[in-house]
């Protein structure tokens, strides 16, 4: 691969099952099913939904854990002819998906392999792993751990089974965490108080069914890149605030398959 710091490459490993890569979508079915879709108002959650790429399951399957530690305690029932990506390999109630790509990133960039953001499943939880993909030549797998025994868990075709998120571990280690009292920053303290009071007042007006508040439905300060502020309601400068992400899709090679 080139040494471009903006490049991420997924090399096909020739496994005979077809998983696809896609930029993670913003929408979640359960968000849309909330009353009047109110959960979709949470912009930080919607941005998290899109903050990476997803690996899509290649076929419907179901799996169940009997409660034991041996790999045989997880029964996997995929559809279609083998080979299958889903297997029981580690034991301890863990369902493993083989990922048919070897990822390569620029020096200093690792990848976090995790479950799709804000997409919970009953009776099973996604495990997470950080891989130094700027040098590793090992294949990766995505693992889910059952949280309850004797429950069938289903994964649909094209359901995201893994989310891939770039990580700068050097930058993470260089951060200097500290705790301070907010009154040590008078301007920040004042503006936080203005936001807190505005939120309290608006919620009270909603509870009292004041027509103007009911028509508005919710405050949009953060969504619009601002807040009730001593100087101006607009805080974020141009390019500092996003309401969605625009990740590029993985480009297929221009040559014949396998090149």
pLDDT digits (tens, 9 = 90+) for 196-218: 999 999 999 999 999 999 998 98
User: Which one of 172, 196, 224 terminates a domain?
Assistant: 172
User: 189 and 165: one domain?
Assistant: no
User: Which one of 121, 151, 172 terminates a domain?
Assistant: 172
pLDDT score, position 36: 85
User: 96 and 223: one domain?
Assistant: no
pLDDT score, position 230: 54
User: Which one of 172, 204, 220 terminates a domain?
Assistant: 172
> Average pLDDT for residues 18-30, to the nearest whole number?
95
Residue from 33, 238, 12, 55 nearest 160 by CA:
55
- What percent of the chain has a predicted confidence (pLDDT) above 70? 93
Given a cut of 70, is residue 258 above it in pLDDT? no
User: 185 and 245: one domain?
Assistant: yes
Cβ 7 vs Cβ 106: under 8 Å: yes
User: 34 and 149: one domain?
Assistant: yes
CATH of residue 134: 2.70.40.10
Highest average pLDDT, of 67-71, 232-236, 239-243, comes from 67-71
- Name every residue whose Cβ is closer than 8 Å to that of residue 208 and which is 6 or more positions away in sequence: none
Least confident of 92-101, 156-165, 235-244: 235-244
User: 162 and 202: one domain?
Assistant: no
Residue from 91, 49, 52, 85 nearest 70 by CA:
91
pLDDT score, position 1: 42
- DSSP codes of every residue in 87-102: E--S-TTEEEEE--EE
User: 206 and 167: one domain?
Assistant: no
User: 93 and 166: one domain?
Assistant: yes
Q: Which two tokens stand for residue 108?
A: 């200093």
- DSSP codes of every residue in 43-106: HHHHHHHHSSEEEEPSS-EEEEE-S-SSGGGEEEEE-SSSP-SEE--S-TTEEEEE--EEEEE-
User: 217 and 109: one domain?
Assistant: no
**Which range marks the domain in which residue 209 is found?**
180-249
Number of domains in the chain: 2
Cβ 24 vs Cβ 53: under 8 Å: yes
Report the 10 Å Cβ neighbour count for 19: 22
> Average pLDDT for residues 145-159, to the nearest whole number?
98
Given a cut of 60, is residue 3 above it in pLDDT? no
């Amino acid at each position: 691969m080139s040494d471009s710091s903006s490049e991420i490459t997924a090399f096909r490993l020739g496994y005979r099952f077809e998983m696809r890569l896609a930029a993670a979508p913003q929408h979640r079915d359960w968000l849309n099913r909330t009353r009047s879709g109110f959960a979709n108002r949470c912009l930080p959650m919607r941005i998290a939904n899109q903050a990476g790429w997803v690996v899509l399951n290649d076929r419907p399957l179901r799996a169940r854990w009997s409660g034991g530690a041996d790999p045989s305690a997880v029964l996997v029932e995929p559809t279609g002819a083998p080979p299958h990506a889903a297997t029981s390999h580690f034991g301890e109630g863990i369902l493993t998906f083989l990922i048919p790509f070897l990822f390569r990133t620029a020096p200093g960039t690792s990848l976090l392999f995790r479950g799709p953001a804000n997409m919970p499943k009953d009776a099973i939880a996604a495990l997470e792993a950080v891989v130094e993909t700027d040098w590793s030549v090992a294949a990766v797998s995505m693992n889910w751990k059952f949280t309850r025994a004797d429950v069938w868990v289903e994964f649909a075709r094209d359901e995201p089974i893994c989310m891939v998120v770039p990580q700068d571990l050097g930058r993470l280690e260089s951060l200097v965490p500290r705790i301070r009292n907010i009154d040590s920053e008078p301007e920040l303290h004042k503006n936080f108080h203005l936001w807190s009071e505005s939120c309290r007042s608006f919620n009270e007006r909603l509870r009292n069914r004041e027509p103007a508040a009911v028509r508005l439905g919710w405050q949009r300060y953060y969504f619009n890149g601002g807040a009730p502020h001593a100087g101006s309601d607009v805080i974020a400068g141009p390019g500092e605030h996003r309401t969605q992400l625009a990740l590029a899709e993985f480009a297929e090679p221009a040559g014949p398959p396998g090149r």
